[in-house]
Structure 1
Amino acid sequence: MTTTTQSHPELPALQAALAAEHAAVYGYGVVGGRIGPTRRPEAQGAYDAHRARRDALRRTVRDLGGTPQAAAAAYELPFPVPDAAAAIRLAAELEDRVAAVYADLVRAAGGTRRTEAAAALREAAVRAVRWRGSGVAFPGLVERAAAPAPPGGAGTDSDAL
């Protein structure tokens, strides 16, 4: 990065959101290859939405003087995805993980970026409900309650979905 977190305290959370969007785009490539034809348009819409968010985050990081987080060549899936049922579970998992990162960005950001992060969190939560068929009380915070925080900060391994 070419700037410090002191000059742009939102930058680490923006970079984490960008990394999550890279992973979601990759993950939806897997979902699209395994999902049934009736839900394929839904997967395509989610893929497109994550690509748009990824591109917007790249621009924001650049505008703040940072170097945007690059996508990994591949990502480790959280479980095997051999069929449509597993693809649906993966799509819900992707949305949960993206929601969690946007919850962090809502905490870190202010003004317009906070509003955009809240909108992204809401969109991910809605997509997760559609995939899963049920919701959670606090989207983006579920896994925080179930798992201890990773050492060294709020980020996650960028090569794992």
Structure 2
Amino acid sequence: MTDAVGGLNKVLAAEHAAVYAYGVVGARTSGGQRSSATAGFNAHRARRDQIRGLITARGGVPSEAGAAYELPFPVTAARDAARLAALVEDRVTAAYLELVAVDDPSLRRLAALAMQESAVRGYGWQPAIAALPGHPAPAPAASPTGRPATSPPVSLDQ
């Protein structure tokens, strides 16, 4: 089983990065996307604070946020911002996946709920379903023009 404090610190690092990224996303969006960016920022900030408290309660030392984070690609327009938000949510979901292996049932529940929330937010930014590990990616639905109706899933290898 995974060490609870170690797993929580990995999740905390992902939440720190998400808060930073959503600041960038919010700066490059407007209207409904800006509202979604604000909601994502607030959700990740609340999770970050919750995780910090859980680490401290278990006698651990929470990791601190970096002063800045290197983005995986330039974010110069709303489309880039949406792509970044989707990628961030995929990475946060992956970070919580390890936490579902801890002995503490309350942490497993928290991780499962956090993964669900991130997956829903990510889908809102980029409505595409990534393949499960070991399974082929689903074929995108064709639009009347013959082009894919949705963009392909964001690769985590960027």
Report the TM range for the smaller structure's normalisation: 0.7 to 0.9
- Residue 97, structure 1, aligned to residue 91, structure 2: yes
Residue in 2 that maps onto 1:32:
26
Deviation at 1:78, TM superposition (A): 0.5
Deviation at 1:107, TM superposition (A): 1.8
Deviation at 1:109, TM superposition (A): 4.7
| Percent of aligned positions that are identical | 47
Q: Secondary structure at the match of 1:38?
A: helix
- Residue 64, structure 1, aligned to residue 55, structure 2: no
- Residue 75, structure 1, aligned to residue 69, structure 2: yes
Residue in 2 that maps onto 1:131:
125
- Residue 9, structure 1, aligned to residue 6, structure 2: no
Deviation at 1:9, TM superposition (A): 2.1
Following the alignment from structure 2 to structure 1, what is the Cα–Cα distance between the partners of residues 97 and 3? 16
Q: Structure 1 pair 138/121, CA: closer, same or farther in 2 (3 Å)?
A: farther
Following the alignment from structure 2 to structure 1, what is the Cα–Cα distance between the partners of residues 22 and 74? 14
Candidates 111, 115, 118, aligned match of 1:121: 115
Deviation at 1:136, TM superposition (A): 2.6
Deviation at 1:108, TM superposition (A): 2.8
Instruction: Count residues in correspondence.
Output: 138
Deviation at 1:133, TM superposition (A): 1.3
Deviation at 1:138, TM superposition (A): 3.9
Deviation at 1:137, TM superposition (A): 4.6
Q: Over residues 6-52 of structure 1, what are the superposed CA-to-partner deviations in whole Å (9 max), with x where a residue is unaligned?
A: xx921111000000000000000000000132211111111100000
Q: Return the structure number with greater relative CO, CA threshold 8 A, min gap 6.
A: 1
Q: Which amino acid aligns with 2:85?
A: A
Q: Which amino acid aligns with 1:111?
A: P
CA contact (8 A) 1:128 1:135 kept: no
CA RMSD of aligned residues (A): 2.4
| Structure 1 segments unaligned to the other structure (5+ residues) | 1-7, 148-160
Q: Which runs of 4+ in 1 moved over 4 A?
A: none
